Structure 1
Amino acid sequence: METLQNVLTPLTVGATVLPNRMVMGAMHTRLETLDRPHERLAAFYAARAAGEIGLILSGGFSPNPEGVMEEGGPLFNGRSQLDEHRVVTRAVHDAGGKIVLQILHAGRYAKVPECVAPSPGKARINSFAPHALSTEEVWRTIGDFVETAALAMEAGYDGVEIMGSEGYLVNEFTAERTNQRTDEFGGSFDARIRFPLEIVRAVRERLGRPPMLIYRISSIDLVEGGMIGLDVAAFARQIEAAGADLINTGVGWHESAVPTIAATVPRAVWRDAIRNVRQAVSIPVMASNRINTPQVAEDLIASGVADLVSMARPLLADPEFAKKTRLGIVDEINTCIACNQACLDRIFTERTATCLVNPRAGREIEFPIGIAAASRRIAVVGGGPAGMAFAINASERGHRVTLFEAEHQVGGQLNLAKAVPGKAEFHEMLRYFRVRLDKLGVTLRLGELATVETLTGEDFDEIVIATGVRPRVPDFPGIDHPKAVSYIDVLTGKVVVGQRVAIIGAGGIGFDVAEFLLGDAQESLDAQAFFRSWGVDVANAVPGGLATAAGHAGTKRSVHMFQRKAEPLGKRLGKSTGWILKAKLRKANIAMTAGASYDAIDDEGLHYTVDGKAHVLPVDHVVLCAGQDSNRDLYEHLRAKGLEPRVIGGADVASELDALRAIDQATRLAVTV
């Protein structure tokens, strides 16, 4: 068993003893917009507390209406709200956990007409222009933070966290970029940090001790006009002197052009910025961002970078992360793959958060837990994400499951995803599935093509079809030409394409193929390669920690992407990650053409038409990424025999390798059989 003694060691924060060094970081879930919101939040946090996480940081609550994230967003500014918060704190405490309320004023990021900021100037990610706070309004806002902190104590929270990172209001005061004030809260460095210091002092005075007082500092801003590392360290020392018990570290602003938490970001890559804070103070410091395994957490603590670690999305993926770490079964942790598809992408498109690898996250009250009334023999055909998810969840309920997979390995098209640069975390997803299938005793029949005869000749109570998708082949002349190849053959290495490549189809698969052809595998694994590519000054010696980004130094291939739709390529990619991929492809000079019709493929290359004008692109290969069709042949044959098999995943609805929908659908079916 791996030695993880540091991450499992108790830590005293102020007057509070935490049982281990693992913390669930704050994240907005939008669960408050659903039915039975307080019951949902209570169940959500209680599951993480029961999973033995050392401390929970709640999602951010604004101290006043102008600071909410959006219309109807979380707000805690009155005694009438105490009971709903007590539902949450009581559930966490009953489960053996501790929870701190994060106080977050969104500032100029607040998507409300009444949004405010230290100075005029609209954020590029918000359509509303902020009102610049007067000096009197600044002092009133400080008082609002204090009142919310006091309410949090009445509601049963174990402390509060002041959100001073990620470009929200408090961070806007500390940065020259957004603070051009001439009163006591602007101008010099000391004046710019006065706002957060006054908040911390006033909250500490109001709460006294022992409630925990945490401050989330921006360890590196990653925007022009941000702080330098020396200022961050000096600021941290003053935060400690003002009364904070612990400093949490944030990274970057939401409008930064540098990715901070997507899968393309190497694990624990911000360690130098965090260490800068740790070396400046004597109180505990918490690391955050791209920490998704106990081993990474252990290394950060053992090497002195931080005293404890904050993990938000990893606790969506597996609420028992800490418990499994203590039990030494880390191979059974359902690891966050940093895809952002079900969490951040949903939040940024005004939907509620959940998790691709764990659809129960945020939906705990919708999924019954326990053994089924009767154990049944179930055949599952297809070992992709839908088939594996169903097999695992059904086996956990006591059913006897046999999984048929025509290939000699499980994973389906997840095995394609893991080959794409920036998606190395899919190896973790496959590891989790394989371990759970083995631990639960699922019978695997690999390399066996299930047939009607096979399935009807054995005594199965249920048959679940999860046969996935097959690539759609466009219908135009020359589609069978040797130059035309499937994305599957390219991503599996069966075909090595030439130096001149056209990609037909610009959905997620098309973009994955383009990135695969660039060959930038190291950027998501090597910190220095990442910093060079995105222009990060590791020493944080220049404002915001920005440097000149290096040009693309990868493959010399000429790649041209096409799509039929007359809209910008990549428009439908994930909100929080699509911009990263598009930026990388632009840097590599990938050509992109929208509104194209495909005329032919022949020895000359790809013939296509745009706006009525015909073109010929000389290429060595044309990679077909034109969508998928459901592979339903076996399902239809079983139906023809009078059987009623269930169908899930791509076999049910074909779409862009939609593991999110497939796993959710499979899990929901498994808890009903």
Structure 2
Amino acid sequence: MRFPHLFRPGKIGSLEIRNRIIGSPMERNYCTAEGRVTQRYIDYLEARARGGVGMLYTEATYVDPRGKGRGLQMGLYDDDLIPQFRKLVRAVQKHGARIGPELNFGGRVVSPEVSGLESWAPSVVPYAGFAPHAMSRDEIEYVIKRFCDAARRAVEAGCDFVGIHGAHGYLLSQFLSPFCNKRDDEYGGDLERRMRFPLEVVTAIRATIGTAVPIVYRVSGDEHQPAGGITLADVTVFAPRLQEAGVNLIDVSAGMYETAWWITQPMEMPQGVLSQSAGPVRAAVDIPVSVSGRLSDPSVAEYVLESGLSDFVTMGRALHADPEFPNKARAGRLDEICTCIACNQGCSDTHARGLPIVCLVNTTTGHEREYAIRPAQSVKRVVVVGGGPAGMEAARILGLRGCDVTLFEREEQPGGQMLLNRNLPGREDMAGHLAWLVTATERAGVKMKLGIEANAELVIAEQPDAIIVATGSMPGLPAIPGIMDSPVVSPYEIIRRPIGGIKRALVIGGGIRGVGVARVLAAKGAEVVLTDPGRELALDIASRSRVLQIQALQALPNVRIHLATTVEALGENYAVLWSSGERTRIDGVDLVVPTQSLLPVTDVADALYERADVPPIYLLGDVRQQRSALEAVQEAAALAHRL
């Protein structure tokens, strides 16, 4: 077997697990407003159980409406929720996987706009403009009872284990964290007193559910809070106390809301980034430990286990991107794994907007029932023009549905704009998805004609029943006086082949293209002036990536950032900037790179629309309207399943 440690059976307490993979408690926004499980949720988790995972959390499950952090979050605060929850449990268990909730109370990070109630916390430490109420002793006892009641419901529903959320800046970790806990009574102060509340919760739950059902406790191994949060040293003291209180497995994560990029690590962070924090915790206890943190490569997961850092690995987005990840890895079908690229666009950022989560690399995720592959009925022969992610995704799905699909791509290598990411610092994994997508498209039987620029005649000659045009967009020139006299260059040219010998470059636009171009040019030794009329950078990428991209840019001594700034004029070697009512001239500019304007490439579509002998034409992606890669592939999947 390729990964013997990953697929070795394990035990948590007396509970036997078929392998060492734990599905993490990702919140999904698939429940009703009252926290009730839906069929969509059942379909989602059942697909992961069928895919071979050893054990699955549901998600952060609120034990009381006052602790509810999201409008469509799962709840287990009332007995009326048990029957539907039991359906979910049985759907997972029938495929041999274990399942349990992650019981949670949000605390200070709960918005009253969501819960409709005042938020409770150990101390009055505001978050997002709301100051929580500092809990009394009676309120502490009330919340402990609510945890116990929810644990009882989980056991009544047939759960294999009960998880407790003590990580990520929610209530239990707020009591443990000196950043959030400013109390001077028996529940605050030194570490011993800060541990008291979470330990009381564990002890009470153990007394409620008995000794047969394992308890799993999730903890942030380090909150990475510069102002003083939970540290790994704290956790190595806390972990043995959790074991004494009745915990059977400690699941190590990281971060809090103020350092959210440590909770859901973006592509700018390496694979297995949290694994080293699990080792000291494992050394401090005699119970199993698991660890999360960008474990989407089975080889990395195997190393974490083989090296003795952890006993289990907790995977969220890896299973979100490919529910069959365990089965494929076990069988050695590694090229078939649809690997998570940690873009966070379809999962964490979509979740933060209160929407049901989806996935950029796997459009079936979250649509397991309606996007099940069914034979096409009305359309049999399809031509796709454009081999970017949207074009290939539509072609792949139609191929799987039995259509005869031909795809034209003018470049020798498909991928469109996504391919450019391989040359942008920190964004390389974005382009990494293309290897899977190209192979999967070919495996679906699509005839890919690369290096051929399609025209109306070529398309019509294929005699299609439907035509999909996904020709994307190309950089345009902003309407700046003098731009044609300036040393202007396409951002795509800079990304593909960075120019050396540039002394001073002006990059116009602070989106991720502008930030990436600025970093590329700075690495070549250029002095870079980056301008944007807005007040924030990189708003077009996921929030966690954005933090790290901006930090990396600001750390470069040869980059000057001018926000709330417009470019008013350009010349052969100068630029005139405007900000706050003042104009500034910059001389010695020998390169200008406008990155904001993208124009749709409509040549093929326009020619086809002129003809009377064409079948239905469908536009996808930027050729229709500028959009994100996530929006483009989701649009492509919806069309391909509808035709």
CA contact (8 A) 2:498 2:521 kept: no
Question: Which segments of 5 or more consecutive residues in structure 2 lack a partner in the other structure?
Answer: none
Partner of 1:650: 622
Matching residue's letter, 1:652: R
CA contact (8 A) 2:221 2:232 kept: yes
Asked if residue 129 in structure 1 is aligned to residue 131 in structure 2, the reply is yes
Distance in 2 separating the partners of 1:615 and 1:306: 57
Task: Tell me the alpha carbon deviations over residues 284-324 of structure 1, each in whole angstroms, 9 at most, x when there is no partner.
Answer: 11110111111111111111111111111122211111111
Structure 2 counterpart SS, 1:402: strand
The more displaced of 67-76 and 405-414 is: 67-76
Q: Given the superposition, is the C-alpha separation of residues 414 and 460 from structure 1 closer, same or farther in structure 2, using an over 3 Å criterion?
A: same
Q: Given the superposition, is the C-alpha separation of residues 88 and 293 from structure 1 closer, same or farther in structure 2, using an over 3 Å criterion?
A: same
Within a 5 Å distance, the mapping from 1:507-526 to structure 2 comes to 507-519=511-523
Partner of 1:588: 556
Partner of 2:544: 576
Partner of 1:247: 250
Partner of 1:56: 56
Q: How many residues align?
A: 632
Matching residue's letter, 1:638: L
Partner of 1:639: 609
Distance in 1 separating the partners of 2:210 and 2:586: 72
- Of 434, 438, 444, 2:448 maps to 444
Partner of 2:461: 457
- How far has the Cα of 1:595 moved from its partner? 4.7
CA contact (8 A) 1:484 1:601 kept: no
Question: Which segments of 5 or more consecutive residues in structure 1 lack a partner in the other structure?
Answer: 520-554
Matching residue's letter, 1:574: A
CA contact (8 A) 1:111 1:127 kept: no
Within a 5 Å distance, the mapping from 1:89-168 to structure 2 comes to 89-112=89-112, 113-123=117-127, 126-168=128-170
Q: Given the superposition, is the C-alpha separation of residues 371 and 624 from structure 1 closer, same or farther in structure 2, using an over 3 Å criterion?
A: same
Distance in 2 separating the partners of 1:564 and 1:233: 48
- How far has the Cα of 1:33 moved from its partner? 4.7
Partner of 2:210: 208
Partner of 1:552: none
Structure 2 counterpart SS, 1:335: coil
Asked if residue 225 in structure 1 is aligned to residue 193 in structure 2, the reply is no
Q: Given the superposition, is the C-alpha separation of residues 257 and 67 from structure 1 closer, same or farther in structure 2, using an over 3 Å criterion?
A: closer
- Of 305, 312, 333, 1:308 maps to 312
Distance in 1 separating the partners of 2:553 and 2:74: 37
CA contact (8 A) 1:51 1:320 kept: yes
- How far has the Cα of 1:348 moved from its partner? 2.1
Structure 2 counterpart SS, 1:366: coil
Distance in 2 separating the partners of 1:437 and 1:489: 28
CA contact (8 A) 1:25 1:57 kept: yes
Distance in 1 separating the partners of 2:564 and 2:173: 43
Partner of 2:200: 198
Matching residue's letter, 2:134: A
Q: Given the superposition, is the C-alpha separation of residues 569 and 192 from structure 1 closer, same or farther in structure 2, using an over 3 Å criterion?
A: closer
Distance in 2 separating the partners of 1:184 and 1:627: 59
Q: Given the superposition, is the C-alpha separation of residues 161 and 668 from structure 1 closer, same or farther in structure 2, using an over 3 Å criterion?
A: same
- How far has the Cα of 1:351 moved from its partner? 2.5
Under a length normalisation based on structure 1, what TM-score does the superposition of the two structures give? 0.89
Task: Tell me the alpha carbon deviations over residues 475-523 of structure 1, each in whole angstroms, 9 at most, x when there is no partner.
Answer: 334333461111100000164471311111222322232233344xxxx
Task: Tell me the alpha carbon deviations over residues 608-649 of structure 1, each in whole angstroms, 9 at most, x when there is no partner.
Answer: 434554432222211111221111110111111122322111
Q: Given the superposition, is the C-alpha separation of residues 615 and 437 from structure 1 closer, same or farther in structure 2, using an over 3 Å criterion?
A: same
Distance in 1 separating the partners of 2:578 and 2:125: 44
Distance in 2 separating the partners of 1:315 and 1:257: 21
CA contact (8 A) 2:22 2:315 kept: yes
Within a 5 Å distance, the mapping from 1:545-584 to structure 2 comes to 556-565=525-534, 567-571=535-539, 573-584=541-552
Within a 5 Å distance, the mapping from 1:416-565 to structure 2 comes to 416-481=420-485, 483-493=487-497, 495-496=499-500, 498-519=502-523, 556-565=525-534
Within a 5 Å distance, the mapping from 1:254-265 to structure 2 comes to 254-256=257-259, 259=262, 261-265=265-269
The more displaced of 278-287 and 374-383 is: 374-383
Distance in 2 separating the partners of 1:479 and 1:43: 54
Partner of 2:334: 330
- How far has the Cα of 1:662 moved from its partner? 0.9
CA contact (8 A) 1:497 1:621 kept: no
Distance in 2 separating the partners of 1:95 and 1:518: 53
Matching residue's letter, 1:576: R
- Of 400, 404, 407, 1:403 maps to 407
Asked if residue 187 in structure 1 is aligned to residue 189 in structure 2, the reply is yes
Matching residue's letter, 1:649: G
Task: Tell me the alpha carbon deviations over residues 522-574 of structure 1, each in whole angstroms, 9 at most, x when there is no partner.
Answer: xxxxxxxxxxxxxxxxxxxxxxxxxxxxxxxxx65322222345x44445553
Partner of 2:77: 77
Distance in 1 separating the partners of 2:191 and 2:581: 60
Matching residue's letter, 2:144: I
Distance in 1 separating the partners of 2:487 and 2:124: 56
Asked if residue 607 in structure 1 is aligned to residue 576 in structure 2, the reply is yes
- How far has the Cα of 1:247 moved from its partner? 0.9
CA contact (8 A) 1:38 1:87 kept: no
Partner of 1:40: 40
Distance in 1 separating the partners of 2:368 and 2:341: 21
Matching residue's letter, 2:2: T
Distance in 2 separating the partners of 1:558 and 1:464: 43
Matching residue's letter, 1:651: V
Structure 2 counterpart SS, 1:100: strand
Structure 2 counterpart SS, 1:220: coil
Distance in 2 separating the partners of 1:117 and 1:176: 13
Under a length normalisation based on structure 2, what TM-score does the superposition of the two structures give? 0.93
- Of 621, 624, 629, 2:594 maps to 624
CA RMSD of aligned residues (A): 2.2
The more displaced of 277-286 and 92-101 is: 92-101
Distance in 2 separating the partners of 1:365 and 1:518: 48
- Of 343, 360, 363, 1:356 maps to 360
Matching residue's letter, 2:101: L
- How far has the Cα of 1:102 moved from its partner? 0.5
Partner of 1:546: none
Task: Tell me the alpha carbon deviations over residues 233-260 of structure 1, each in whole angstroms, 9 at most, x when there is no partner.
Answer: 1211111122111110111212128645
CA contact (8 A) 1:372 1:399 kept: yes
Task: Tell me the alpha carbon deviations over residues 571-625 of structure 1, each in whole angstroms, 9 at most, x when there is no partner.
Answer: 5553333233223323335433345443433223223434554432222211111
- Of 307, 310, 321, 1:317 maps to 321
CA contact (8 A) 1:259 1:580 kept: no
Distance in 2 separating the partners of 1:389 and 1:450: 19
- How far has the Cα of 1:672 moved from its partner? 2.0
Matching residue's letter, 2:56: I
Distance in 2 separating the partners of 1:576 and 1:107: 22
CA contact (8 A) 1:490 1:497 kept: no
Task: Tell me the alpha carbon deviations over residues 32-77 of structure 1, each in whole angstroms, 9 at most, x when there is no partner.
Answer: 2589961111111111111111111111111122211145643321
CA contact (8 A) 1:390 1:666 kept: yes
Q: Given the superposition, is the C-alpha separation of residues 496 and 488 from structure 1 closer, same or farther in structure 2, using an over 3 Å criterion?
A: farther
- How far has the Cα of 1:219 moved from its partner? 1.1
Q: Given the superposition, is the C-alpha separation of residues 96 and 34 from structure 1 closer, same or farther in structure 2, using an over 3 Å criterion?
A: farther
CA contact (8 A) 2:475 2:490 kept: yes
Structure 2 counterpart SS, 1:629: strand
Asked if residue 672 in structure 1 is aligned to residue 642 in structure 2, the reply is yes
